[in-house]
Chain A
Amino acid sequence: EDQVTQSPEALRLQEGESSSLNCSYTVSGLRGLFWYRQDPGKGPEFLFTLYSAGEEKEKERLKATLTKKESFLHITAPKPEDSATYLCAVQAFTNAGKSTFGDGTTLTVKP
């Protein structure tokens, strides 16, 4: 059974204080690992897809990396508008129709 565990559950940062969110996964044949951002009362919004270990993707202050067991979402010099819940999800080759999500990390960035 595919599993995704995200840590920490909640993270509070000062504006400009860089940090990382962790997503540990177990899946039989990783097809893709996905990061989403979810604002309160909204649907998740796609950020990145990573397909193989060693791959990295960047977007503004966010950088996602992938190993064979985990993924990190690095946030550099965050701003208050980066406050949101960040979700990680995996898809397996054995069942591309199924996405397994972690419980998310709620990030709060104080000015």
Chain B
Amino acid sequence: EAQVTQNPRYLITVTGKKLTVTCSQNMNHEYMSWYRQDPGLGLRQIYYSMNVEVTDKGDVPEGYKVSRKEKRNFPLILESPSPNQTSLYFCASSQEVDRGVGGELFFGEGSRLTVL
């Protein structure tokens, strides 16, 4: 089954304790991206990756890091989480974003993060 898998799905942590949210896709997609979703603010892009070893900042990259060492994986790293990073996070992937067709995103189920 084609899917984007995120882990953990739920996490409660404390300020300053480093954490990683993993994302893996099995569709051989070149493009992957991270979003956060907050009430009243919609989906906002954090980072994206057009291909292996290529990453770029989205609209709200502060406080986050990413890496793309393999095509299927795109982990989101919070080096020193703060309460304002409490949110619902989504990973997404897509095929051939940089060409004339495609671009539709396939989303994971989401990771709900609470930072105390």
Contacts and interface: CB of A to CB of B under 8 A. Distances in A.
Contact of B107 (A32, A44, A49, A102): A44
Contacts of B48: 97-98
B15 to A, nearest CB: 26
Nearest to A95: B56
A88 B48 CA distance: 19
A63 interface: no
B53 interface: no
Interface in A89-111: 89, 91, 96-104
Interface of B is mostly: strand
Contacts of A36: 105, 107
Contacts, number: 61
B97 interface: yes
B108 A102 contact: no
A91 B98 CA distance: 11
Interface in B68-109: 90, 92, 97-98, 103-109
Contact of A101 (B42, B103, B108): B42
A97 B50 contact: yes
B67 interface: no
A46 B43 contact: no
A71 B4 CA distance: 28
B90 A49 contact: no
10 contacts: A31-B103, A32-B103, A43-B4, A44-B90, A44-B105, A45-B107, A49-B103, A91-B97, A100-B45, A103-B42
Interface of A: 31-32, 34, 36, 41-46, 49, 87, 89, 91, 96-104
Given A89-B105, A99-B103, 14 more contacts: A31-B103, A32-B103, A34-B103, A44-B43, A44-B105, A44-B107, A49-B103, A49-B104, A87-B43, A97-B48, A97-B56, A98-B48, A100-B45, A101-B42
The list of the 4 closest CB pairs from A to B, nearest first, reads A43-B107, A101-B43, A103-B42, A46-B104
